[in-house]
Amino acid sequence: MESHQRDLANLHGRTMHSAASPTPAIMIQGTGSNVGKSLLVAGLCRYFADQGLNVRPFKPQNMSNNAAAVDGGEIGRAQALQARAARVTPSVHMNPILLKPESERGSQLIVHGQRFGRLEARDFTSKRERLMPFVMESFTRLVGEADLVIVEGAGSPAETNLRGGDIANMGFAREAHVPVILAGDIDRGGVIASLVGTHAVLDAADQAMIRGFLINKFRGDPALFADGLGTIAARTGWRSIGILPWFPEAGRLPAEDAMDLRRGSPNAKGTIRIAVPVLPRIANFDDLDPLRLEPSVMLTFVERGQALPGNADLVILPGSKATIADLAVFREEGWDIDLKAHIRRGGTVLGLCGGYQMLGLSIADPDGLEGPAGTAVGLGHLAIDTVLTGDKAVRPVRAQALDHAAPIEAYEIHLGHSNGADCARPLFQIDGRLEGARSPDGRVLGTYLHGLFTADAFRRAFLGWLANGPAGGNGEAPLAYDATIEATLDSLAAHMGRHIDTAALLSIAHSRS
């Protein structure tokens, strides 16, 4: 603790832009995807921010269809959460390169928050020299503002086949001279092999960037893993930064990876049944997180091969990064037939962004912005037609629900415009314009707005309308979403402070040269 306090004093006392004393920075890389890097960075951001440091999160390159609209552009949802954890306003410079997958082999390329076209996977290595300057520009800007920068890697540095074009892991760490902590996930098994194996496949210069390791998602008595720590240290030369026990409250925080949709709803006793079909290019599925946590709701994610449940009160068609392609999958699964039956039974349907477009009469992509150029016939439940155009809407908005006296802080991220007869029955008013559409019977709804359900008053009013009465009929208090997120970040920071050697982390961050 004394060393920790000394490091904090050094941070507060140093000259921010001194060339001889670069801003301390630390990078969290992982032995694979989903080992918990995003959560580790969020927890460290909140921990050090609460110690009085001016902290900035940073991820050189992210691949995600879960994005947030910030600062006139878009970044990965995880970086927006990390900025919140650091108690700072999110910026496009916290995630300068964002890849939004549109197919198995290609992604939409976002640079400094703005759409830069499409990037094929086979071309990425050759683009390193073009993209790294954008990464370094953003990093330089952040270190000029901060006392401490906490960087998140992507995937694993052990993917040596990608090393030549890497800007996300060791390619960045060596360019920016940022020391690395390597995280391993013991919950999935094989953590010793994954850490030692990563060391084995890295070249000597990359090995030297790693100054320590930590074990994440541990269950049981940490003393039983003492020999494991010794084995890893002996075979790698890296020091242990700690063993972080399983953090059960992690499920309350927004997820970025579609794999996390399998968590489903924790509320088996929820009286309002909501079903969500999981499409291959599902996007901005964090729209559903407040519903998943709401005690009155039982939220079911419907995987391919399963039918939409016949007892659902509401079916939500979420956003998509490849709307026409996902619409084809929706039909292949027979969900179009299930949806018709749901509507005949008097069920409600809500389309969000790409899901809104699918509910219409047609979707035209004349320039091939999301795939091959062409037009697709929609599901036909809303009298609207959509044309995808190159002018992408990316903006935060303050909306007013026309049926509820509840203001909503939301955002838009979409290509294209929708128009038609059902737009004459809008859902929201935004700065004098009307937005959204509904069917004549009011049971099929569509909107381009994301983040609707984070607004407690709107969410409760909507669920009450859906249930024909007050939401929360299972006796539990309704969710206070923002308060839940804040409390969870505080708990995560305290959890990490108890189990990770934060003084060692700061010392390593100071070693940047």
Q: Domain holding 427: CATH number?
A: 3.40.50.880
Predicted local confidence at residue 9, as pLDDT: 44
Q: Which residue type occupies 225?
A: F
- At residue 47, the pLDDT reads 98
pLDDT at 266 over 50: yes
Q: Return the pLDDT at 270.
A: 84
- Strand locations in 255-401 (E): 272-277, 282-283, 297-302, 314-317, 319-320, 348-352, 362-365, 374-377, 385-387, 393-401
Quick one: pLDDT band at residue 513, thresholds 50, 70, 90? confident
417: pLDDT strictly greater than 90: yes
- Residue 260 is predicted with a pLDDT of 58
E-only strand ranges, 102-196: 106-111, 114-120, 148-152, 180-185
Which of 15-19, 201-205, 263-267 has the largest mean confidence?
A: 201-205
Indicate whether 163 and 112 sit together in one domain. yes
pLDDT (0 to 100) of residue 11: 43
Q: Transcribe 184-208 into DSSP letters.
A: EESTTS-HHHHHHHHHHHS-HHHHH
Q: Which of 93, 199, 342, 353 is catalytic?
A: 353
- Residue 326, pLDDT score: 96
Please compute the mean of the pLDDT values over residues 420-433 and round it to a whole number: 94
Q: DSSP class of residue 251?
A: G
Asked whether the whole model's pTM tops 0.85, one would answer yes
Return the minimum-mean-pLDDT range out of 236-240, 315-319, 375-379, 389-393.
389-393
Count of other CB atoms within 10 angstroms of residue 420? 15
Q: Report yes or no on 257 lying in a domain.
A: no
Collapsed DSSP state (helix, strand, coil) of residue 466: helix
| Residue 196 sits in the same domain as residue 53 | yes
**Does residue 479 lie in a domain region?**
no
- CA count, 13 A, side-chain hemisphere, 20: 2
181 plus 276 within the same structural domain: no
Same structural domain for residues 461 and 493? no
The reported pLDDT for the residue numbered 10 is 46
Which candidate in 450, 495, 499, 510 is catalytic? 450
Q: What is the mean pLDDT of residues 249-270?
A: 71
- In the residue annotation, 353 being an active-site residue is answered as yes
Amino acid at site 134: F
Residues 245 and 301 in one domain: no
Partners of 417 in the β-ladder: 387
- pLDDT for 18 equals 43
Residue 345 located in a structural domain: yes
Do 498 and 452 lie in a common domain?
A: no
Q: How far is CA 492 from the centre of its chain?
A: 17
pLDDT band of 17, cuts 50, 70, 90? very low
For 23-51, the pLDDT digits (tens) are: 999 999 999 999 999 999 999 999 999 99
Considering the chain, what is the average pLDDT of its residues?
Answer: 90
Percent of the chain with pLDDT over 90: 76
pLDDT at 77 over 70: yes
Q: Residues 242-271: what's their mean pLDDT?
A: 77
Q: Is 450 a catalytic residue?
A: yes
Q: Are residues 347 and 198 in the same domain?
A: no
Is residue 481, in this structure, part of any structural domain at all? no
* Same domain flag for 225 and 83: yes
Q: Which range (115-124, 396-405, 499-508) has the least confidence?
A: 115-124
Partners of 98 in beta bridges: 62, 110
Residue 470 has pLDDT above 70, yes or no: no
Is 482 inside any structural domain? no
Residue 10: count of CB within 10 angstroms of its CB? 14
Is residue 311 very low, low, confident or very high in pLDDT (cuts 50, 70, 90)? very high
